[in-house]
Structure formats: C-alpha cells, structure tokens
Chains A and B, each alone.
Chain A
C-alpha cells in the first residue's frame, strides 16, 4: 500500500519563473526505505519540503499535481495537521533546536507540548524515543552543549516523538564528521529495521546502499533514474550526469576495463567490492623472491 503518493507534481517557488520540480511521480509503500540522490540544485530539498507539506503551505508558490500521504491530500490540509503525518529533519542540527528549552528532555517534549499531549503520556513517549535513538544519557544536558552528531540525534528524536507515519530526512549527515555520521546512520538503521517509512536525501552513497530499498536519482527537478540501489548507484548515467558515485564503483569499473572485475554487478560498498574482487583469481606472484 502506498503511504506516500505524488502524482504529476510540478512546483515553482514564488518570484521565480522556472519550476524546481517537474512532473514528479513518486509512490512509497509503507515500511519502505527510499533514498533520493542528486547534484546541487536538483530539487531534493524542495521535494522533501513538498512531501512534508512546507510546499506549498510555508513557502507558498505554485504547486500542481497531487501530494497524498496516508490518503490525505496535502493541499486540502493544514500544515500543523500535516506535520503529524510526515516528520521532517534536515541538515543543520543547530537550527533544529527550538531554543526555548534548557535540557534535551524538555527539548524533546516541546513538540508534544505544542500538540497538547497529556503530561504522563509525554514522558513515556520522550523516554521511549530516547531509548530508540540511544540518547537517554543526554536527557539532562543543555541541547547547546552537545556535539553535532548528538544534536542531530536529538533533532531526529524530537521528530520521532511526534510519531509521524513517514520520516523525511534531508541530508541529515551533511554537516557531520565521520563519527557524527556513523551515530546518525546508526539511528536511521534502527528506524529502518523497525519498519519506519523513510525518505532520505543523502550524498553518501555507500551508506544508502546499505539501507535503501529503492533509490531515486533526481536531476533538474525531474526523476532521472529509479530502481534498486545496485541498479541506480552503479549506473553509468549517474557519472555522466554529474552525480557523486561511490569510489568502490569507480575502482571496479576501471578494473572491469582491464579484465580484473569478473562480476556483472558493480559494487557500491567496500564489502561488495571485496566480495567481487575475491572472485578474480589472484595474479601469480611473479617477480617475488619465493623461497
């Protein structure tokens, strides 16, 4: 069952002439993990805003086509009702902190206070969400005293407590160092395992290959490619269109050119690369003084 359904969506920001999204058709089934990749200016963030209702409710502008989540239509809903369907987290963890709270626990309760959740239920929901994302030990810290990775996990948790049906993540690790990235992806992996419907915009294709059920390549506001991570992320079209591709894919493609890669499928991750190269018979140890 499709929980997210976009049909012929075209959107133009106010005061601009050319559409940022053109004729987007996108169906995401419940529990699916969909990743969106694309070069800068491809419309990835706008697509996130569209699914999360901020287009057109917050940014105004002209939207045609239909955006449906859980059988409700975005244009017929209010933003404050829509955010209960779709949770949105984005790049900068610092700007996602409300600034009105003094501890992480209070910060996480902020959204629940806004939607009028009773106190007892609020505490249970916050504690459960903290356990899920592994930040229970941060409960009494000030949100401003945290590291980037911790802040981003707080931001993610603050959306999770709202119990959205769909989670939209717009480059959640782009401002993280490797440790922060690993922390955030650890949380995303857990969510995926729990059957959360996730739409993730991300540049780090090696991570995407591990989680995504489906990958969508977006370019100039249109869907360029769509398919399994293996199909899309190793497609030669990506490289020609200016997408970032995995270094393991590039290495294997070079190796394929000189007959060192025997597999049909090119790898995206280190593990796939190692597995693939293991199929290639190792060259005879000529020139090495064996005794």
Chain B
C-alpha cells in the first residue's frame, strides 16, 4: 500500500471534484491557464487562484494536500521567478530603488508578479487535478475518447515503473558495494563508480521489456477489438456544460485581448 501511495499524488476522497469526468478537470486546468494568459486584465491570474483553484481545493476535500504542495514546492519556485523577473526585467517606468546596477521599476515588479502568479496558477491547478484524479481513470477515459491504447499504456506504466527501477538500482548498488565498490568518497570518484551500475540496469531493463511485452501480448494487448473499461467513468450533462463554458470563456478572453489591444 505504501508503494501505491508513493506512485501518484492521488488522494482518495469522495467529493464533487473527484466525481467529475477527468476530461472536465483537464479542461478546467487548461481553461484556467489559457484564460490567465489571454485575458487582458491584470487581475485575472490572481482572481482565478483566489476564487477558482483555492475554493476548488476545498470542494475536492484536498485542501491540506493542496496547500502543502503549494507552499513547499510551487511557491518557492514562483517566488524565485518573481525576484528574477522583477530585478532583471528592463521595463521602463517609475524606478522603485537602485542597488548597484539593479533598478527595478514599478512596471517590472507588476509584470513579474503577474507572471509568477500565472506559473503558480498553472502548477497548482495541475496539482489539484492530480490530487483528485486517479491516473488509470484518466487514461481509460482518454482511451475511450480515442487516445491510442499504446500511448496511454506507456504513460501510465512509466509512472508505475520508475520507483521499481529506483529500487532495482539500489539493489545493484548494494550488490556492487558489497564487492568493494566505492560509493561514499569524493563526488568524482562516486560518479565514476556509478558506471558499473549502468550496464546491469540498462541491459536488465531491456530484457524485462521483452518479457513484459510478451506478458501484455498474452493478454490481448494488440487485439483489434474496441477496448472496454472496468470502471465506469461518468460523463454527465453538467460535465459537458462545464467544458463548453470553459471553452467559451477561453474564446472570450482571447477575443477581448485582440479587441482591446
């Protein structure tokens, strides 16, 4: 079970957001991001975060996980982006202060803030999406809508197999360390001593790929019949409505941008 939890962000809850169709949630993410870039109003990204993503994290009953990820991962990255852009973006305008060659203007700070908020919106809404959507549900829904099965398989098996590869690498390292491999001295030496790890890991994985190909082939993976899905993934009228509204909003914000500029 621990392995399962490490493999995806997904937090199992019962909420309206969890019950939404995966495509609807994906549309929400892309809709938010596109609107934040298209709409010609300065406050769009801020408004979307405050009145969109954050309330939705409560609706989805994942607010705790959402804030955890936001504060620890996304905010530092967005903050860094803000500082860099505010200091080095050469925008003309009212100079705020001057330290050496740095002379941020009010315009550059405003611009950097909006951009950082866009990034924050982008990553945090995607995080919210991952928190409330089971990966296999997403893939079976997309496959049902015409995404090639092979493509879906590659994505989802990669997510699952990475930790397994990690564990295998650890086993090989331990095995080689027990035979005298130096993995604890200087960086260069350690980097060099990783080379004997690559062979077994890569070739071992290639052999495994063949076996896995046989195993999934034995279960009709290349069957030409239309695939079915174990889980019924609801796609209600309100799902469709949300998607249409978002598409319309994206178009409206694009039109506004073109019209107002």
A residues apposed to B, CB below 8 Å: 49, 52, 54, 58, 79-80, 83-84, 87-90, 92, 94-102, 105-106, 109-119, 122-123, 141-142, 144-145, 155, 158-159, 162
Task: Please indicate the chain A residues that have their CB under 8 angstroms from the CB of B161 in the complex.
Answer: 99
B residues apposed to A, CB below 8 Å: 1-4, 7-8, 134-136, 139-140, 149, 152-153, 156-157, 160-161, 164, 208, 211-232
Task: Please indicate the chain B residues that have their CB under 8 angstroms from the CB of A52 in the complex.
Answer: 218
Which partner residue on chain B sits nearest A140 by CB separation? B1
CA distance A73 to B229 in the complex (A): 31
Task: Please indicate the chain B residues that have their CB under 8 angstroms from the CB of A109 in the complex.
Answer: 230
Task: Please indicate the chain A residues that have their CB under 8 angstroms from the CB of B153 in the complex.
Answer: 98, 100
User: Contact: A145 with B218, CB < 8 Å?
Assistant: no
Task: Please indicate the chain B residues that have their CB under 8 angstroms from the CB of A94 in the complex.
Answer: 164
Of all A-B residue pairs in the complex, the 10 with the closest CB atoms, nearest first, are: A111-B219, A116-B225, A99-B157, A95-B211, A114-B220, A142-B4, A109-B230, A96-B215, A115-B220, A80-B223
User: Contact: A144 with B220, CB < 8 Å?
Assistant: no
User: Contact: B218 with A159, CB < 8 Å?
Assistant: yes
User: With A83-B219, A106-B230, A122-B230 as given contacts, are A54 and B214 in contact (CB-CB < 8 Å)?
Assistant: yes
Task: Please indicate the chain B residues that have their CB under 8 angstroms from the CB of A116 in the complex.
Answer: 223, 225-228
Known: A102-B7, A105-B230, A114-B219. 6 other contacts (CB 8 A): A79-B222, A80-B217, A102-B134, A144-B3, A144-B4, A145-B2
User: Contact: B220 with A84, CB < 8 Å?
Assistant: yes
Q: Within the complex, which residue of A105, A110, A122 is in contact with B219, where a contact is CB–CB below 8 Å?
A: A110
CA distance A145 to B5 in the complex (A): 11
Which partner residue on chain A sits nearest B155 by CB separation? A100
Task: Please indicate the chain A residues that have their CB under 8 angstroms from the CB of B228 in the complex.
Answer: 112-113, 116-119, 122
State how many angstroms separate the Cβ of A147 from the closest Cβ of chain B.
13
CA distance A84 to B220 in the complex (A): 8
Task: Please indicate the chain A residues that have their CB under 8 angstroms from the CB of B220 in the complex.
Answer: 80, 83-84, 111, 114-115, 162
User: Contact: A114 with B136, CB < 8 Å?
Assistant: no
User: Contact: B134 with A119, CB < 8 Å?
Assistant: no
User: Contact: B211 with A113, CB < 8 Å?
Assistant: no
Task: Please indicate the chain B residues that have their CB under 8 angstroms from the CB of A54 in the complex.
Answer: 214, 217
User: Contact: B230 with A123, CB < 8 Å?
Assistant: yes
User: Contact: A159 with B226, CB < 8 Å?
Assistant: no
User: Contact: A119 with B230, CB < 8 Å?
Assistant: yes
Which partner residue on chain A sits nearest B139 by CB separation? A100
19 pairs, CB–CB < 8 Å, chain A vs chain B: A52-B218, A79-B222, A80-B223, A80-B224, A83-B220, A94-B164, A98-B153, A98-B157, A98-B212, A100-B139, A100-B160, A102-B8, A110-B219, A111-B220, A115-B220, A116-B223, A144-B160, A144-B164, A145-B1
User: With A100-B153, A101-B136 as given contacts, are A90 and B227 in contact (CB-CB < 8 Å)?
Assistant: no
User: Contact: A98 with B164, CB < 8 Å?
Assistant: no
CA distance A96 to B213 in the complex (A): 9
State how many angstroms separate the Cβ of B18 from the closest Cβ of chain A.
15
User: Contact: A102 with B4, CB < 8 Å?
Assistant: yes
CA distance A164 to B224 in the complex (A): 18
State how many angstroms separate the Cβ of A83 from the closest Cβ of chain B.
5
State how many angstroms separate the Cβ of A158 from the closest Cβ of chain B.
6
CA distance A159 to B215 in the complex (A): 9
User: Contact: B156 with A95, CB < 8 Å?
Assistant: no
CA distance A117 to B230 in the complex (A): 9
State how many angstroms separate the Cβ of A137 from the closest Cβ of chain B.
14
State how many angstroms separate the Cβ of B127 from the closest Cβ of chain A.
19
State how many angstroms separate the Cβ of B13 from the closest Cβ of chain A.
16
User: With A101-B136, A102-B136 as given contacts, are A145 and B229 in contact (CB-CB < 8 Å)?
Assistant: no
